[in-house]
Amino acid sequence: MSLIDINMKKLNQLLFVLFLAVHSSNGFTEDIRQWKVNSWSEPFNYQSQITPIEYTPASRASKPWHLCISYPHLKDAYWLNVNYGMVEEAKRLGAKFTLVEAGGYPNIERQRQQIMQCTKSGADALILGTVSFDDLTKTISEIATEIPVLATVNDINDSGIIAKTGVSWVEMGRVTGEYIAQRHPQGGPPVRVAWFPGPKGAGWVKFIEQGFRQGIKDGEIEIVVTKSGDTGKEIQRTLVQEALEAYQNIDYIVGNALMAEAAISVLRQMNLENQTNIVSTYFTPAVYRGIKRNRILAAPTDAPVLQGRLSINQAIKILENKPFFKHLGPEIKLIDRFNFKTISMEDSLAPSPFLPTFFVK
């Protein structure tokens, strides 16, 4: 064999290795783990029986389907985690998407206009994280006559919805409440709670409040003040300050993740770090850091990265006329300072360098 032949052989080997690397990163390989998730015996009914399943993700799409995706906002890292899961799964499957975000839960009309415009620009399906449980029902029903509409994360009126990825926010609230109740069972000294459920009218808030109040019923717990507001950090900081200025001897500040993040600095400024505990009702990178640094006591995670992946997967299976589950969601896990090292964050947190991604082409 000549020197030229040897060099050509080495070059071909190198090109083959590069081919495998490139195509594996773009989803040609099907060596992907199954996902442990829950399904419901009656889709969209969180009161029905839960069945744990091993979900087999879709294979690479037969064509570059174009998905329209809508979020309530990208003001906190929860939706950034969902975004990361969607980006990674769309790339793996060879799908495209356009993302719009409404800028906050009060912006119902803005989300309505966004999804109408987005779906009319050639989208094959709509994945919707809604700002409201039922204020968009008419618009969704109209869109559903043209393309499939899937719900993600936030609970929603089922009219027009073909599939849903999500967990019971009643259960998220109950898990949070039970955690505190177990620390302060009935018959012991009572504790005082300031409660920050989130924005009124959002598709998840009334359910998380229902669950939280169910969860604390077996504890010696008094909710002394409730403050509602949009999940912007400055808004939540102001609400926390108002509550602590108006009420003395608050033992727990409990509520949405933006509140929990903001409360760390408020407690420090008011010299209440050693008096008042913070508990979040859901999970973000900042909440995770707070737990690691003993600034936040605990929070449940509903695996938002995995929810993003599941949403894309459901859409592709529907568009390719493959069997699909109408309703899937991850298992809820309570994270605190004692177990955070034992639970994988892969399905909950995006890598720190990840930035919001509005287009996958």
Integer Cα distance of 293 and 287 in angstroms: 10
Class of CATH domain 35-167+303-333+351-360: alpha beta
Q: One-letter amino acid identity for 127?
A: I
Q: How far is CA 325 from CA 44, 265, 341, in A?
A: 11, 43, 32
Q: What is the 3-state secondary structure (H, E, C) of 150-164?
A: EEECCCCCCCCCCEE
Average pLDDT, stretch 210-235? 95
**Predicted local confidence at residue 212, as pLDDT:** 97
**Predicted local confidence at residue 31, as pLDDT:** 52
Question: CATH topology of 35-167+303-333+351-360 equal to that of 169-301?
Answer: yes
At 58, is the pLDDT very low, low, confident or very high (cuts 50, 70, 90)? very high
| CA 5 to chain centroid | 54
Give the pLDDT confidence of 306-327 residue by residue, as tens digits: 999 999 999 999 999 999 999 9
Residue 221 structure tokens: 């717990």
Is the CB of residue 157 less than 8 Å from the CB of residue 137? yes
Give the pLDDT confidence of 20-50 residue by residue, as tens digits: 344 333 333 445 679 999 999 999 999 999 9
Of 7-11, 185-189, 214-218, the one with minimum mean pLDDT is: 7-11
**Predicted local confidence at residue 101, as pLDDT:** 97
Average pLDDT, stretch 234-247? 96
Instruction: Look at residue 70 and tell me whether its pLDDT is greater than 90.
Output: yes
Integer Cα distance of 16 and 13 in angstroms: 5
Integer Cα distance of 88 and 91 in angstroms: 5
- CA triple 98-235-80, angle to 5 deg: 30
pTM for this predicted structure? 0.84
Give the pLDDT confidence of 250-301 residue by residue, as tens digits: 999 999 999 999 999 999 999 999 999 999 999 999 999 999 999 999 999 9
Q: What is the DSSP letter of 153?
A: S
Q: Where are the domains of the chain?
A: 1-31, 35-167+303-333+351-360, 169-301
Instruction: Look at residue 208 and tell me whether its pLDDT is greater than 80.
Output: yes
**Predicted local confidence at residue 123, as pLDDT:** 97
Is the CB of residue 340 less than 8 Å from the CB of residue 332? no
Max CA pair span of the chain = 88
* Residue 118 three-state SS: helix
Instruction: Look at residue 8 and tell me whether its pLDDT is greater than 80.
Output: no
Is the CB of residue 115 less than 8 Å from the CB of residue 100? yes
Of the candidates 134, 136, 206, the residue with the CA atom closest to the CA atom of residue 169: 206
Please provide the average confidence, as pLDDT, over all residues in the chain.
91
- As its CATH architecture, domain 169-301 has 3-Layer(aba) Sandwich (3.40)
**Predicted local confidence at residue 203, as pLDDT:** 66
Integer Cα distance of 111 and 115 in angstroms: 6
Percentage, residues of the chain above pLDDT 70: 91
Average pLDDT, stretch 118-141? 95
> Helix 257-269 and helix 233-246: axis angle, to 10°?
50
Instruction: Look at residue 65 and tell me whether its pLDDT is greater than 60.
Output: yes
- CA triple 79-85-89, angle to 5 deg: 145
The secondary structure of 73-105 as a DSSP string is --SSHHHHHHHHHHHHHHHHHT-EEEEEE-SST
